[in-house]
Structure 1
Amino acid sequence: MQNPLLERSTLPFEFPDFPAITAAHYLEAAEAGVARQLEELRAIAQDADAPTFENTFVALERSGQLLRRTIMAYGTVFSAHGTDDLREIDPTLQALFSGHMDAIHLDQGLFDRLASFDATGLEGEDARLVSETLRTFRAAGAELDADKKATLRELNGRITDLSSEYSRKLLGAMNDAAVHFEDAGDLAGLSEGELASAAGAAREAGHESGYLLTLVLPTAQPLLATLEIGESRRRLFEASVTRGRDGENRTLGLAARMAALRATRAELLGHETHADVVLEGATAPSLEAVRERLAELVPAAVANARAEADELAKISGAPINPWDWAYYSAAVAKERYTLDRAALREYFELDAVLARGVFAAAQRLYGLSFSERTDLPLYHPDVRIWDVHNQDGSILGLFLGDFFARPTKSGGAWMNSIRESVGLFNERPVVTNTLNIPKPAAGEPALVSFDEVNTLFHEFGHALHGLFSAGKYPSLAGTSVPRDFVEYPSQVNEMWSLHEEILPGYAAHTETGAPLPEGTIAKLEAAALWGEGFATTEYLTAAVLDLAWHSLPAGETVEDPAAFEDRVLKEAGLIPDLVPSRYRTGYFKHIFDGGYSAGYYSYIWSEVLDADTVEWFTENGGLRRGNGDHFRSELLSRGNTRDPLESYELFRGRPARIEPLLVRRGLPTGQGA
């Protein structure tokens, strides 16, 4: 069969014909794409004409189209539906991609030609392309001598292999750790729909009877808030925190080896640590600035968490266990704020949250409309797809939603691009949101927790960032921004989930149609502030752990990753025995196979901008079309076409202030100001 990837798709939006693409096709197209781009780059480097902007930097941006569309299609499918045949070829593909990046960035002739171009007179996005391209090449080792480049290639290859192995083993560990219960009595507290979903998961996994609780990627498992029996909560919690610790799917040693190799690579590149390498291309000014920000937030967050634990102990009648935290927090919410989080699920049905919540907010702010279509070939039957239109009726792009958990899907939630909005190629964006919501039993509504409602709004913020991209060059377009800026638009979009003009539109009881009880929004906001001690400490623990792994000097090895994790967290003043990290080393996919190494601090760094932006919307009338258009034109559409902090200041009218974040997190407003 002809490989569908070798030619541009004739489907709308050049949509990939996913069912027709086999693992062998991905591999063949990737190899052909690498070879073709190397020929294109050789032509640039050996061009006899004097270097110009068009024949160097623009030519570089134009190169590699076959490889680009192959990577985008493969990356979408592998993370969301990584079947055995794809997992088998993944190590080969990852090694191919990594080696190819080295072939580009370490090509002396290509770099010399790029560096010799006189960019004087360029401005705007053209000038930005030159500076960012040269910075990327230099950061990747373009100025090393030949021997060091050879060493760098070897290190990059080994790190890529370990990362790929970590990903494969983590997926196996996630599936292995699912907790099987034979007796429904052990699952008291779960709804009939949740029991039916767990029974279906057990049959799918090969159990003849019983119920299977599958895991989500973070430490905190949603069902811990509703399981009434403490022993059942303990089993689910311990299954979560011990993923990757033992057995054939052990990931701890892989993480330690990756961290050591990254430290060695950093030294080769002239930096003290891997974190210094990462921060070189970030909006944060330095590693020390990030450390200071985290350190100044930890004491107050931990104090708040301890106070919350004392409150929970009064309700439980004993010192609180980490697996009991969510359950008794829900009890506090129910008692103090008359808020029953478990019962709230009955008001949040997936389709309603999407159409009358997520999409409705985008319509109000940006004039968008959405129409579902069923004519494009998808990689899994659960995937859905919508045309996205501007208010004037012009097509903006496609949005794909892949919401339900399955054994072939990586844990967590994310946005991905199948096509990017790139002016150079006259492309329209095709973006995806992927979540891991438990799939309901046949005929049952897909109910989601309020945390999952927030996740839907969050991930759609990423989608908007991709859909609104107005960049000309692919390397600067859309979400191709510094890692500590990329979470900012998505975090801002969460503000609309509780908005008084949005929430009543999607929150209705699935059986009676009744609206949320009066005062629920105020109760949710009050309950969220009460729990900020735990939430902030849980997050900071993960951010500190990430920096600890990636601040290791070259030559230092960690023999016992679990002991290392415990030591560095306690030395930082954190309390992992009471408030565990949002992700532990064994399942910290973000940093060991997700591009966030030394960058997990990004969420709190971005939240400074996010909280300040929420304040701006509030000051300027909230959910107004003019506000959305201003945010879209000055920030969401800009990508990396100019310094993102410049975009922020042009949007906000000044640099961001930290005080709104401190108020949101329940921290002293004099701290860190």
Structure 2
Amino acid sequence: MTGHNTQQNPLLAPSELDHELPDFAAISVEDLVPTFRTGVVDHSAEIAAIVANPEEPTWENTMDALEASGQLLDRVLAIIFNYSGTDASDDIVAAEETVAPELAAHISSVNLNPGLFARVSSLPPQPEGSENEALLTYWLRRFRRGGAALDDAGRTELSSIDARLAELSTRFGRNLVAATEAGAVLFTEEGDLAGLSDSHKSRLAEDAAAAGQDGWLVRLGLPSVQPVVEELDDPAARARVHEASLRRGSGGDADNTEVLLEIVRLRARRAELLGYANHAEFIAEEETAGSLVEVDDLLGKLTPAAVANAAGEYKKAVDKAGSDDSAGAASGVAGSDWPYWAAKLRAEDLDVDEAELKKYFPLERVLRDGAFFAARRLYGITVERRRDLDGYHPDVQVWEVREAEDDPVRPGVPIGLLLTDMYARPSKRGGAWMSSFVEQNNLLGQMPVIVNVLNIAKPAEGEQALLTPDEVATVFHEFGHALHGLLSDVRYPSLSGTNVPRDFVEFPSQINENWALEPEILANYARHVDTGEQLPRRMVDAVRAQAAWGQGFATSEYLAACWLDLAWHRLSAREAAAVTDVAAFEKDALESAGFGADVLPALSPRYSSTYFNHIFAGGYSADYWSYLWAEVLDADGFQGFVDTDAARGDEGGGRPGAVVEIDPDDVRFAGDRFRRMILSRGATIDYDDAFWMFRGKQRSVAPLLHRRGLAGSMDVDGLGR
């Protein structure tokens, strides 16, 4: 993206590139805020015109007009918010911080517009099960939850809260980016890096040089546990990295303490103003889980079993550390040590050299011959590189998605574009996600332009990025989100693609992860980077076993974060105002949930409060549990691909490590059903009904328990529906 453009602002009109891909090279940073403000003015005028229309409200002059409004605003916001996560220059950061509160105020003005509310409310009920009914329900719920029924004083206060929350969430995210970058650990003695491969050390040296420093620089990722601690032999080196990870956002110029406390207080007050007991109750209303009661039931029954398994894993790590004579063995196993000794145990149990294993997962093959190949087998689509189209950064690749040439109905018809942004860089937020520049909708005839973002370490010049099994799963996961956006086929933008409840949005992405280990798919992409030989059977078995290994720790650190999220967002306005010590609150919340230091002395939640981006700067507030709920759907729902008549269910299915033998002739049949019933429908469906139709029965938690190794640790009665 250029710093200045003397030509006409390309955002003022739809892009003339294929599928309205933004002309990134022509977009000026200086134009973003002025264009945003023009977009707000234009959208406000469009809303005013709908309200002032002298004709009686009809579907066309009200709902169609409402959904078609704000196109300029959508275009510029897609640029700002995508860039703020992927290439956050100082100018982009400043633009986002300027735009966030003004956007919140504008959204409030729409939600609180009495004339628009009255006009939409006057429309007659729409046919049951229709897209029109779904859209009307969406807007009426949006008005109600947006405060349309409040009095003037309430509307004013709510608008002020929304604007301030937007400002604070943006600040939290920016602080975290700064704290994460500042928290990078510089090693100046190569001996401290014992345990790392030469190629890994070379990457760390390149990162240090890029930062203008001598030595080896370990940059931090989002979670508490940094992957590098699994490899560092020196306990002091592990401790330096782990402690740097845990203290992010809790001091210095990028301190998030007061930011998150104000967010919690304002969310609690907002919920109270709208008639809810707390923010968690406000959020749960829209989720497919139905209520906090069901969430508590699931988390409450899983936690003791997960903690018991984790305690057993911790004891094995302690025993391993105590019996190991190698350098680095030490008395006691701290939080920085547990992953290291667990990795040693995993290598012994699975009998695999993980550095050698990565050579069978070069990124390009995983993407092309894995994720894209699976999509062709399942949904009859092709994904081909468009070298004539440019992304927003040199690392970004652009792909065109089409129906297959042999498709009997729409041979070779374009579906949309996919942008892949795979490599980490200092200006990019940590983690992995999917977003969009254009959302599919038939109202405006727009095809989707979807983005997949990961943070894989960029290889040295001339080398290929080699992935861990977890990174392979992430590629498939994020492409599952992309498929949800790409294969959407709805009329209205508000209902398109991934615009569904949080506990359903993860369902298609987690379903897609299963295909990474499906025999036909795995055999197609898991080939040695140098020789091209297939992954040996012994290593295939190890990869499958690895997916089920150490689930006590993985489940416990995740559940701890879920309980922490809910603890913050269950506070009433009065209770939130009384909290001043973040560390003390977090300690009490974890102890109450069963994760006290006396139970698991070396376990931290996957994210602690000051760097919990999902809930304070992302869209998962009071909703981090949605990943687990979606996994309930996934572990059970994947049997819909195995049992292609969708009528019988194996309660022990969906287990990573289990070989899923699916008749190749049935794969496309099941894929077409999933595309038709789930992926193409966006938010136009009743989610429980859609799951039931695909699966052939109501969801059950039993497959999830088998997957996570908890089935033998608990009574599962009553956990299904």
Same fold (TM over 0.5): yes
Q: How far apart, CA to CA, are the structure 2 residues paired with 1:515 and 1:226?
A: 26
Quote the offset at 1:136 in angstroms: 1.1
Is 1:415 the equivalent of 2:434? Answer: yes
Is the 1:226–1:342 Cα contact (8 Å) retained in structure 2? no
Q: How far apart, CA to CA, are the structure 2 residues paired with 1:657 and 1:260?
A: 36
> What percentage of aligned pairs have identical amino acids?
44
Q: How far apart, CA to CA, are the structure 2 residues paired with 1:530 and 1:383?
A: 34
The amino acid across from 2:131 in the alignment is E
Q: 278-287 or 568-577: which moved more?
A: 568-577
The residue correspondences of 1:268-667 to structure 2 (distance < 5 A) are 268-317=273-322, 318-391=331-404, 392-556=411-575, 557=577, 558-575=579-596, 577-620=601-644, 621=662, 624-667=667-710
Q: How far apart, CA to CA, are the structure 1 residues paired with 2:284 and 2:193?
A: 46
Aligned counterpart for 1:203 among listed residues 198, 201, 209: 209
| Residue 232 (structure 1) aligns with | 237
Q: TM-score, normalised by structure 1?
A: 0.98
Is the 2:204–2:216 Cα contact (8 Å) retained in structure 1? yes
**Partner-residue secondary structure (3-state), 1:568:** helix
**Partner-residue secondary structure (3-state), 1:596:** coil
Q: How far apart, CA to CA, are the structure 2 residues paired with 1:105 and 1:61?
A: 14
Aligned counterpart for 2:189 among listed residues 183, 189, 196: 183
Q: TM-score, normalised by structure 2?
A: 0.91
Is the 2:129–2:685 Cα contact (8 Å) retained in structure 1? no
Q: How far apart, CA to CA, are the structure 2 residues paired with 1:525 and 1:546?
A: 31
| Residue 658 (structure 2) aligns with | none
**Partner-residue secondary structure (3-state), 2:436:** strand
The amino acid across from 1:551 in the alignment is R
The residue correspondences of 1:24-39 to structure 2 (distance < 5 A) are 24-39=30-45
User: Which structure 2 residue ranges, 5 or more long, are not aligned?
Assistant: 1-5, 323-330, 405-410, 645-661
The amino acid across from 2:52 in the alignment is Q
Quote the offset at 1:257 in angstroms: 1.2
Q: How far apart, CA to CA, are the structure 2 residues paired with 1:539 and 1:638?
A: 30
Q: How far apart, CA to CA, are the structure 2 residues paired with 1:282 and 1:140?
A: 17
Q: How far apart, CA to CA, are the structure 1 residues paired with 2:389 and 2:463?
A: 26
**Partner-residue secondary structure (3-state), 1:285:** coil
Quote the offset at 1:522 in angstroms: 2.4
Quote the offset at 1:346 in angstroms: 2.0
Quote the offset at 1:566 in angstroms: 1.2
| Residue 3 (structure 2) aligns with | none
Q: Render the CA deviation track for 1:442-476: whole Å, top value 9, x for unaligned.
A: 22221121111110000000000000000110001
**Partner-residue secondary structure (3-state), 2:12:** coil
Q: How far apart, CA to CA, are the structure 1 residues paired with 2:355 and 2:606?
A: 21
Q: Render the CA deviation track for 1:315-334: whole Å, top value 9, x for unaligned.
A: 11154322122222221122
Q: How far apart, CA to CA, are the structure 1 residues paired with 2:529 and 2:14?
A: 44
| Residue 221 (structure 2) aligns with | 216
Q: 326-335 or 260-269: which moved more?
A: 326-335
Is 1:76 the equivalent of 2:82? Answer: yes
**Partner-residue secondary structure (3-state), 2:638:** helix
Quote the offset at 1:602 in angstroms: 0.3
**Partner-residue secondary structure (3-state), 1:443:** coil
The amino acid across from 1:49 in the alignment is E
Is 1:22 the equivalent of 2:28? Answer: yes
Quote the offset at 1:122 in angstroms: 6.6
Q: How far apart, CA to CA, are the structure 2 residues paired with 1:530 and 1:147?
A: 55
Q: Render the CA deviation track for 1:363-420: whole Å, top value 9, x for unaligned.
A: 1111222211222232110101111111121111111110111111011100001111
Q: How far apart, CA to CA, are the structure 1 residues paired with 2:523 and 2:129?
A: 47
The amino acid across from 2:36 in the alignment is A
Distance 1:662 1:122, change over 3 A: closer
Q: 162-171 or 319-328: which moved more?
A: 319-328
Distance 1:636 1:622, change over 3 A: farther
Quote the offset at 1:575 in angstroms: 4.2
Q: How far apart, CA to CA, are the structure 2 residues paired with 1:489 and 1:667?
A: 23
| Residue 50 (structure 1) aligns with | 56
Q: How far apart, CA to CA, are the structure 1 residues paired with 2:117 and 2:290?
A: 26
Is the 1:219–1:583 Cα contact (8 Å) retained in structure 2? yes
| Residue 244 (structure 1) aligns with | 249
Q: Render the CA deviation track for 1:174-227: whole Å, top value 9, x for unaligned.
A: 1001110112221122222211211111111121x1110111111121212222
Quote the offset at 1:665 in angstroms: 1.1
**Partner-residue secondary structure (3-state), 1:35:** helix
**Partner-residue secondary structure (3-state), 1:212:** strand
Aligned CA-pair RMSD: 1.5
Q: How far apart, CA to CA, are the structure 2 residues paired with 1:383 and 1:65?
A: 25
Is the 1:308–1:533 Cα contact (8 Å) retained in structure 2? yes
Is the 2:169–2:616 Cα contact (8 Å) retained in structure 1? yes
The amino acid across from 1:432 in the alignment is V
Q: How far apart, CA to CA, are the structure 1 residues paired with 2:402 and 2:596?
A: 48
Quote the offset at 1:38 in angstroms: 0.7
Quote the offset at 1:120 in angstroms: 5.0
The amino acid across from 2:698 in the alignment is P
